[in-house]
Amino acid sequence: MPWKNQGGGPWGSGPKGPWGSGPQPVGPRPPDLEDLLRRAQDRLQQLLPGGYFSGIGIMLVLLVAVAIWGLSGFYRVQSEELGIVLRFGKYVRDAQPGLNYHLPYPIETVLLPKALRVSTISIGMTLIDDPARRGRTMRDVPEESLMLTGDENIVDVDFTVLWRIKPKGAADYLFNIQNPEGTVKAVAESAMREAVGKANIQPILTGARTTTEANVQELMQKTLDSYGSGILVQQVQMQKVDPPAQVIDSFRDVQAARADLERLQNEAQTYANRVVPDAKGRASQILQAAEGYKQQAVAEAKGQSSRFLKVYDEYKKAPDVTRQRIYLETMERVLGGSEKLIYDGGGSSSQGVVPYLPLNELTPRRPPAATTGQPQQQSGATR
């Protein structure tokens, strides 16, 4: 059975379109291009004399169109912007702030990134609208700020990153990364987690903030450079570093106890610094006195032995004389400091001493003691 073409396709799907590829569109027919050109020509004929339209009129229209097209290439770069000129979509050159010119579209186009502006990204906190305060307030983001330390503790870290486009990195910034702010935020969070994960919680909470910030900045810059992002990290600032809210009270008690421990250790060290040198000084003084006494005793012993040897030499020469001299010197040394009376028992009995003689009254009297307050008894001597 032969197919019947009822003004449509081979399957009778309806009338063909202008090119025989399908059904004609339903609705009003779009205006024809030739009809539009004809209407424009008619209007120009009304404005210009009929004889000049075919030559001068078309020339003037073309000149005006070319002039407008050429003037469209002027553009201005603001003080915080940097112009990136593209020729058919390929990077050609940079344009400095001020009035510049590029070949009109579609030959060249220009992009104006904020290359000189310092941007800020916050991690662990975000600004939200607060109708009660009629403004914006800061809210914590725990999924970004809670991090695990190297000693298996959890710390809540909020920090900000200051960054900008490198002086000669605007092209890399535009074409190498798709979402610059999201990239910087992801790299910053990853770098901070790595730095916190390698350290203990105590240094992070006390004196290691500056070191941690420097390490995070260095790691961020290294990672962004590996991406070819054209981004310069200027500063990393740790805003808040605390334990989680659930244990912050207990942690503060531990911190207070640790502060008391350090205070007591400092006081003990101060006392030790004061007492130990004093004890060392006294020990040194005792050692010096003992050394002096040793040298004195040795010298005296050597002198006495030398004297004895000399006396012995003289004794061997004249024993009787030396023995008498030693006896007299010894008696002089024994009786020289004592009170004594010498009595010669010779003579008759009538001229002798009486049976009782208060010999103690003949000796010089000593002054009485002034401390006891009682009269001192004197003892008598009877011969």
Burial class (CB in 10 A: 0-12, 13-18, 19+), 233: buried
99, amino acid identity: L
Note the helical H segments in 318-338: 319-335
Q: Using 50, 70 and 90 to split pLDDT, how confident is the model at 380?
A: very low
119-246 CATH choice from 3.30.70.120, 1.10.357.10, 3.30.479.30, 2.60.40.10: 3.30.479.30
Q: Using 50, 70 and 90 to split pLDDT, how confident is the model at 6?
A: very low
Q: CB of 143 within 8 A of CB of 133?
A: no
pLDDT at site 55: 61
Task: Please give the structure tokens belonging to residue 3.
Answer: 């197919």
373, amino acid identity: G
Q: 3-state DSSP: the chain helix, strand, coil percent, rounded to 5?
A: 45, 15, 35
- Least confident range of 101-110, 236-245, 271-280, 346-355: 346-355
Note the helical H segments in 48-160: 58-71, 142-145
Q: How far is CA 87 from CA 69, 168, 173, 330, in A?
A: 16, 19, 18, 130
**pTM listed for this prediction:** 0.48
Domain ranges in the chain are 35-71, 75-111, 119-246
Which is nearest to 111 in space by CA: 86, 93, 78? Answer: 86
Report the pLDDT averaged over residues 189-201.
Answer: 89
Report the pLDDT averaged over residues 283-296.
Answer: 93
List, for residues 79-129, the tens digit of each pLDDT value. Answer: 777 777 788 777 777 777 777 777 777 877 777 777 778 888 988 888 776
264: phi then psi, degrees, rounded to nearest 5: -65, -40
Q: Angle at the Cα of 200 (from 194 to 206), degrees rounded to 5?
A: 110
For helices 319-335 and 248-317, angle between their N-to-C axes, nearest 10 degrees: 140
Say how far apart CA 71 and CA 102 lie, in whole Å. 10
Which is more confident, 195 or 254?
Answer: 195
